[in-house]
Amino acid sequence: MHVAVFSAKRYDHRSLLAANEAAGARHQLTFHEAHLSAATAVLAQGAEAVCAFVNDTLDAPALEALASHGVRLVALRCAGFNNVDLAAARRVGIQVARVPAYSPEAVAEHTLAMILALNRQLHRAHARVREGNFALDGLMGFDMRGKTVGVIGTGRIGAAFVRLLQGFRCRVLAADPYPADEVAQLGATYVPREVLLADADVISLHCPLTPQTHHMIDADAIARMKRGVMLINTSRGGLVDTRAVIDGLKSGVIGHLGLDVYEEEGDLFFEDLSGQVLQDDVFARLLTFPNVLITAHQAFFTAEAVGAIAAITLENITCFEARGQAAFVISTEKLA
Ligand code: NAI
């Protein structure tokens, strides 16, 4: 099958070509650096499938354009699918598949890395030591032991994160409309989200971005939090109202902020913009805080996860070619 791969970086070429080789080199992959959108969909001409990533825009115009060029499958090489208009995909006869689980541990471990780095201010300590400044003033952290960690969303990644927390002897609170037995058995206590917001010293977001979860962390939610709380978002930028979070940082309610995702990351992340003037003033403000640590959507980025993403993406494409049904189709039943 001819597959047009969008937003393709060198590591995507390597991992997808290796997975295609391993699957008998049955597919023809064409790589495009461009993001997928209505404007770039024409690049998929001649392809029956497109392979897309987190910041590609698969809205109705893009899907209509893809369908007009003969595309029948969107194979997302990620878990989240908030960037796809599933109703429009069904209307134009395009199947949408994703990689539901590749390495929840990769994201959970990055979450933990952000918490520890922010707590012990490793980002500042590293810069100081390189400048020959060995003073400790301003670098005091806190013991994780005994602290309350609130986990919002306890699916695959949230559960993996709770497993990692076992080693720290923290008290774990969880909020999820569908509580998981495994997470409760690990000692986490499910509570209403308002209780979690009020009690947690560290809050970590692990739920998908949907119309219901958009800006779940807004001014009202921040007003409920403990003064000095640490907020971590490795899920999707839209869960957090960035302007409200900036106000929370300025007032001191938010004591530490760790972001691997950002509402407007589509214009920034995954690109080297170091020689350019940053146009996003909200993002630029975030960068001025000493207690903010930002990574550019790299939580998934381990060798194991990238290899698994490529293998499952190829499996989706192969199954679609063989049976007309990808291995991990995103169900649109509830959209009926
Ligand atoms: P999952 O589907 O296994 O779990 C999501 C959980 O969130 C479910 O248990 C669901 O019931 C819960 N949830 C839904 N609405 C909620 C609400 N309003 N409040 C609390 N919980 C709610 O998904 P998984 O694999 O754990 O991934 C979670 C998210 O992580 C993905 O949707 C994606 O956006 C993000 N992600 C980020 C990556 C990165 O590199 N930064 C990589 C992979 C995923």
Q: pLDDT digits over 86-107, tens only?
A: 999 999 999 999 999 999 999 9
Count how many domains the chain has. 2
Specify the residue for token string 């106000």. Answer: 247
Q: Based on the fold, state whether residues 288 and 322 are members of the same structural domain.
A: no
Q: Based on the fold, state whether residues 253 and 114 are members of the same structural domain.
A: yes
Q: Based on the fold, state whether residues 141 and 37 are members of the same structural domain.
A: no
Which of 236, 256, 263, 315 is the catalytic position? Answer: 236
Distance 154 CA to ligand 1 centre (A): 7
Report the mean per-residue pLDDT for the chain. 97
pLDDT in tens, 206-239: 999 999 999 999 999 999 999 999 999 999 999 9
Residue 332: what pLDDT? 67
Q: Is the pLDDT of residue 192 over 90?
A: yes
Active site residue 236: yes
- CATH number (domain holding residue 87): 3.40.50.720
Residue 331: what pLDDT? 83
Which atom of ligand 1 is closest in space to residue 101's alpha carbon? 25
Active site residue 265: yes
322 token code pair: 């063989």
Q: Is the pLDDT of residue 267 over 70?
A: yes
Predicted model pTM: 0.95
**CA dist., res. 208 & res. 178, Å (int):** 13
Residue 190: what pLDDT? 98
Ligand 1, atom 2: nearest CA belongs to which residue? 155
Q: If you average pLDDT over residues 153-181, what whole number do you get?
A: 97
Q: Based on the fold, state whether residues 95 and 160 are members of the same structural domain.
A: no
Which of 48, 72, 297, 315 is the catalytic position? Answer: 297
Q: Is the pLDDT of residue 334 over 60?
A: no
* Host domain of residue 22: 2-102+302-335
Q: Based on the fold, state whether residues 289 and 185 are members of the same structural domain.
A: yes
Q: Based on the fold, state whether residues 74 and 201 are members of the same structural domain.
A: no
Q: Based on the fold, state whether residues 231 and 140 are members of the same structural domain.
A: yes
Which amino acids bring their CB within 6 angstroms of ligand 1?
79-80, 101, 104, 107, 152-158, 175-178, 206-209, 212-213, 234-236, 260-261, 297, 299-300
1 three-state secondary structure: coil
Q: If you average pLDDT over residues 130-157, what whole number do you get?
A: 98
Q: Is the pLDDT of residue 335 over 80?
A: no
Q: If you average pLDDT over residues 4-28, what whole number do you get?
A: 97
Alpha-carbon Rg for the chain, nearest whole angstrom, is 21
Question: Of 80, 18, 53, nearest to 330 (Cα)?
Answer: 80
Q: Based on the fold, state whether residues 175 and 75 are members of the same structural domain.
A: no
Question: Of 294, 331, 329, 333, nearest to 73 (Cα)?
Answer: 329
Q: Based on the fold, state whether residues 21 and 156 are members of the same structural domain.
A: no
Q: Based on the fold, state whether residues 251 and 319 are members of the same structural domain.
A: no
Q: Based on the fold, state whether residues 74 and 118 are members of the same structural domain.
A: no
Q: Is the pLDDT of residue 281 over 70?
A: yes
Active site residue 297: yes
Spell out a b/e string for 264-283, using b for 16 or more CB atoms within 10 Å of the CB, else e.
Answer: ebbebbeeeeeeeeeebeeb
292 three-state secondary structure: strand
Residue 330: what pLDDT? 96
Q: Is the pLDDT of residue 317 over 80?
A: yes
Q: Based on the fold, state whether residues 290 and 154 are members of the same structural domain.
A: yes
Q: Is the pLDDT of residue 204 over 60?
A: yes
pLDDT in tens, 133-144: 999 999 999 999
- Residue of 105, 107, 163, 300 best suited for mutating to test ligand 1, as the one with most atoms within 8 Å of CB: 107
